[in-house]
Amino acid sequence: MKLKANIATSENGFIFNPATGDSFISNPIAAEILALMKTGEDEQGIKRKILDQYEVEGHQLDRDWDDYMFQLKEANLLDL
């Protein structure tokens, strides 16, 4: 999945969709995921980096990832 090109994000987790005017706040790990998505990093690459950097089990990351992608999709932030 890919973040829409027009979505603005900041390092501190602020997300803005200029098409709708909606804004959101994310936690630091979610902000890191968004930053990696904006660079074109794929899902597996992002997950590898998260697993290397944080103490999280792979199955938990998969569940959290699916939940976060669902939230981004519901907020109309993903380019499907």
How do the domains of the chain map onto residue ranges?
Answer: 28-75
Question: 């697993």: which residue's tokens?
Answer: 51
Q: Catalogue the E-assigned strands of 5-77.
A: 8-9, 14-17, 22-25
The pLDDT score that the predictor gives to residue 47 is 98
The pLDDT score that the predictor gives to residue 1 is 80
The pLDDT score that the predictor gives to residue 56 is 94
E strand or H helix at 79, and its extent? strand 78-79
What pLDDT tens digit does each residue of the chain (80 aa) get? 899 999 999 989 999 999 999 999 999 999 999 999 999 999 999 999 999 999 999 999 999 999 999 999 999 999 87
